[in-house]
Amino acid sequence: MPGRGYVERAVEYADPNALRMALYQATRDAEIAAITPERVFGPVTDTVVFSADDIALIRAKAVEYLLTEPDEAALPIPSRDEIVELLEMAEARTLGPDDLIMRHHIPAFADMPFQAQWAAEKVVPEGYHVAIVGAGFAGIAMGVQLAQLGIPFTVYERRAEVGGVWSINTYPDVRVDTLSSTYEYAFEKKYPWTEYFARQSEVRGYLEHVARKYGVHEHIRFCSDVQGARFDEKTQRWTLTVCSDDAVTDLEANVVIAASGVFATPRDLPVTGVSGFTGQIVHTAQWRDDVEYAGKNVAIIGNGSTGVQLLSKVAEKAASVAVYQRTPQWISPRANYGVPIADELQWLMQQMPFYWNWNKYVAGLSTIDLRNVLMPDEEWIAKGGKVSERNDMLRESLVGYISSQVDGRQDLIDRLVPDYPPMTRRPVVDNNWYASLTRNNVELVTTPIDRMTDTAIVTADGEARNADLVIAAVGFQTEKYIWPTQYYGIGGVTLEEVWTARGAQAHLGMTVPGFPNMFMLYGPNSQPVASGAGLPTWFEIWTSYIAQCIVGMLENGRSSMVIRQDTFDDYNDQLHEEAKKLVYLMPSSAIQKNYYVNEFGRLQTNAPWSGEKFYELCARPDESHFEFTDGR
C-alpha cells in the first residue's frame, strides 16, 4: 500500500465527479450524498460544477477510504434502480424513462454488458460457419460475441496484423481524438492506457490484447483479402473468394459479416498533374517509416483530423511547410490532449472501487446530449441568431480560441473561421495546428490548387511553391462502405448497384434487402450523433444485434434471414425525415463539402436520433422485420 502522500496525489488527478460517484457507491456516505453540484449551461451541453469546498471534501474522504485498502470484489453490483439513482446523482438532474433506455449500461458494471445469449441449449449444426471480413474494432467485437456463444467463425484480414485503421494509419502523432476511457470495449475493464488520448501503437496493442484474451486471434486468417462474396439461393450460403499468398480460394460460410468499415479506401489526390510530380507523394493512410520530412520542403494538402494531427510534428523538422486548406474547419481544444496519465492515477483506477466505471460515464457526459447543439432553433434564428443559443455560443467560443492560438493575427483569423455552423462537419481536435501556422517555416495557403508540375504545386493565382514531399491528408472514399469487397446478393446484384439511385442505405446500418445472412458493421447512418458511449461500445451493441439474429436462426432451424423491403423503406424514410431536423442539412451548412452528406443531399454517415432512441432500435432484432427461409 503506498503512503498517504501518494494517495493524496492520486485523488488530485482524479475527476471529482467520477471520484464522488465511486466513493458514494462504495460507502453510501451521507455527506457525499448531500453535495449538490450546479448544472451550468454550456456551448455543447450542461456541465456539472462543484465548489472548491465540495471537491476538497470528496478528495479527503476518498483518501481515508483508499487507505483502508478496499476490495471491489467484495462489494455488490448495483441493481438497475440503484444505477438510475446514481446516474441522476452524477448528472445532477432527474432523468425520465426516455433518458434511461441506454444510459444505465454505459458504466458497464456487468462483465459483458452487451453479450448475446442462447435462449436455451446451444444448437450449432455441424459445418456451420460465420465469416467476418476485417480485424479492426468491429471485426474483433464480432469475434468476441461469437467466441462467447461457441459459434464457429473465421476473421479474414487482408493485412498481417489486427487493427484496421489503427494498423493502416501510422503518420506522425496519430492518436484517438476521443478520451481513451471512452474509446474501449465495455467488457474489457481497467485497461491501463498510458495517455488520456491513446496513440496509434497503443490502440493497436489494445486490439491485439483483446483478440488474444477473448479467443479471437486464433480464428483470424491474416494476409487474406476477401475480393468477393456471392450468395447462393439454392444452398442459402455465401461463397467467399479469398486471395492469400498469391492463391485464390473459394470458401463457404452460412453468414457473412462485413466489418471493413468506412475508412478503408484512401481518396485519390484530386489534382491535375499528380503523375508528373518527381518528388514524393504519400497519403496519410499509406505512411511508411522511411518517409523523410526533416529538412524538406513539405506540402500538406488537407486540414481534417489527419492533417491537423501531423502538422506540428512535421513543422518541427521540415525546412518549410505549405498547408493547403481546402475548407476551413472548426478545430477545438481538448483538455489533456497529448498528456500521459500519471502513475498515481493509474493506481487509483485499479484500486478505487467503481472509479473506472464512473470515469467512463463522466467522460461521456459531454456527448450524451450533443444532439441539442445540432438542432436549429427557429425562434432563436428569427431573433437574429444563426442556429441556436448553444451552437452560436460554441461558435463564439471557437472563434475566440482561434484568435488566441494565432496571436490575434487577423490575416489568419479571416481565413480560418468557417462560414458554416460548428458540428456540421466531423469535429477536429487541435494538436497545435493553429499555433503551428504562426511558425516562420509554415505558410497557410487558401487559394485553390490548380495543378502540379514536376517540382511544385501551382495555385489558381499562378503562384508555384516548390515541394519535395507532398502529404495527402485528403481522407477516404467514405461513400464506399465495406469496400473493396464486392458483395453479390439475390440475382447476382451488387450492393453498389442497389445503392446507385439514392446512395448507401441500410436498415440500422446493418442489413439490406436482397442480401440474406449478410450484415454490416459501421454501415450507412450508423454513427450516433449523441449517446455518451464511445464507438467501440456501439460495436458491441451492433454485434450483439447480429449475434442475436444468428442465434435466432439456429434455435429456430432457419437457414437464412433477410430484411423486408417495406421495413427497410420505412426505416430510411423516417431516418431522412429526422435528419432534416439537424444542422447538417441547413442551407448554411455547406453540404456540398461535407462527407456526412452524400451527393443526393441525404445524411450518409450519422444516425440522427438520440443515443437512447438509436439504442432502443438496435438492442434486439424484431422478427417481423425479416423474411426467413426454413432450414429444416
pLDDT at position 386 is 94
Half-sphere exposure of 506 (CA within 13 A, CB side): 30
Is residue 119 included in any domain, yes or no? no
User: Is residue 530 predicted with pLDDT exceeding 80?
Assistant: yes
Q: How far apart are CA 258 and CA 482, in angstroms?
A: 6
The answer to whether residue 337 is domain-embedded is no
Average pLDDT of the segment spanning 60-89: 97
Q: Which residue has the cell 442539412?
A: 585
Give the mean pLDDT of 12-28.
Answer: 98
- Let me know whether 450 and 465 are in one domain: yes
pLDDT of residue 483: 81
- Same structural domain for residues 211 and 348? no
Q: Are residues 325 and 243 in the same domain?
A: no
**Considering the chain, what is the average pLDDT of its residues?**
95
Tell me the per-residue pLDDT of 228-248, one tens digit each, with 9 for 90 and over. 999 999 999 999 999 998 899
- Whether residue 138 is found in the same domain as residue 249: yes
Give the pLDDT score at 591: 53
pLDDT value, residue 632: 54
Contact 204, 182 (CB under 8 A): no
Confidence of residue 592 (pLDDT cuts 50, 70, 90): very low
Classify residue 607: in a domain, yes or no: yes
290 in the same domain as 187: no
pLDDT at 590 over 80: no
pLDDT at position 479 is 72
pLDDT tens-digit readout, 99-138:
999 999 999 999 999 999 999 889 999 999 999 999 999 9
For residues 202 and 301, state if they share a domain.
no
Over residues 398-419, mean pLDDT: 97
The runs of H, that is alpha helices, within 39-191 are 52-66, 80-91, 137-149, 165-168
The answer on 224 and 149 residing in a single domain is yes
Q: Which residues of 353-365 are buried (b: 16+ CB within 10 A; e: fewer)?
A: bbbbbbbbbbbbb
pLDDT-derived band of residue 416, with 50, 70 and 90 as boundaries? very high
Residue ending a domain, among 440, 472, 504, is 472
The verdict on 161 and 197 lying in the same domain is yes
Percent share of the chain, pLDDT over 90: 91
Residue 125 counted as domain residue: no
- Does residue 93 carry a pLDDT above 80? yes
Mean pLDDT of 491-508: 93
H or E element at residue 133: strand 130-133
Predicted confidence (pLDDT) at residue 589 exceeds the cutoff of 80 = no
pLDDT tens-digit profile of 319-367? 999 999 989 999 999 999 999 999 999 999 999 999 999 999 999 999 9
Across residues 445-463, what is the average pLDDT? Answer: 97
616 and 482 share a domain? Answer: yes
User: 303-319: per-residue pLDDT in tens?
Assistant: 999 999 999 999 999 99
Pair 108, 155 in one domain: no
Average pLDDT estimate for 192-216: 98
pLDDT of residue 58: 98
Residues 297 and 365 in one domain: no
Is residue 392 situated within a structural domain?
Answer: no
Q: Over 60: is that where the pLDDT of 577 sits?
A: yes
Residues 321, 439 within the same domain: yes
- Last residue in a domain, options 472, 502, 536: 472
Q: Is 531 among the domain residues?
A: yes
Residue 409 lies in a domain: no
Cβ contact 560:516 at 8 Å: yes
Secondary structure class of 378 (helix, strand, coil): helix
Band (399; pLDDT cuts 50, 70, 90): very high
For 397-413, b where at least 16 C-beta lie within 10 A, e where not — what string? bbbebbbebbeeeeebe
Looking up residue 614, the CATH number of its domain turns out to be: 3.50.50.60
Tell me which of 437, 472, 507 is where a domain ends.
472
What is the pLDDT confidence band of residue 457, given thresholds at 50, 70 and 90?
very high
Domain count for the chain, please give it: 3
Say whether pLDDT at 2 is over 70: yes
The domain of 72 spans: 4-113+343-370
Tell whether 319 is covered by a domain.
Answer: yes
Query: Using CA atoms, how far apart are residues 77 and 34, in angstroms rounded to an integer?
Result: 22
